[in-house]
Amino acid sequence: MLGDEAGLLSGGLEADCFWLRVDAERTDLTVQVRYRHPTSAVAALEVQGDRARLRFARSERAVAPGQAAVLYAGDAVVGGGRIVATFP
């Protein structure tokens, strides 16, 4: 029997991040949550110190605490860190 695929979807994540540069007003940010996983558009980003909370433009499958999250503006890395929580 197959599991419930909807239970694997996340609407966003919270991560402990380090920043190379960040501008929360940007609208062209993407995030990659696993090596070789396609990047996903970021719909909203809130940054407080070294903690970031972001919402995906579309729900993403199998995002989990402990994984890496890398934020991009175009091809440039703007920050990244360890996922500490996900939310629907």
- Residue showing tokens 């940010």: 29
What residues does each domain of the chain span? 11-87
CA distance 40 to 15: 16
Most confident option among 7-11, 34-38, 56-60:
56-60
In the chain, % helix, strand, coil (3-state, to 5) comes to 5, 60, 35
**Closest Cα partner for 44 from 55, 52, 33?**
55
Give the pLDDT confidence of 11-48 residue by residue, as tens digits: 999 999 998 876 656 678 999 998 888 999 999 999 88
Q: What is the pLDDT of residue 34?
A: 85
Q: What is the pLDDT of residue 66?
A: 96
| pLDDT of residue 1 exceeding 50 | no
pTM for this prediction: 0.86
Q: What is the pLDDT of residue 13?
A: 97
The domain defined by 11-87 carries CATH number 2.40.30.10: yes
Q: Which pLDDT band, with edges at 50, 70 and 90, does 8 fall under?
A: confident
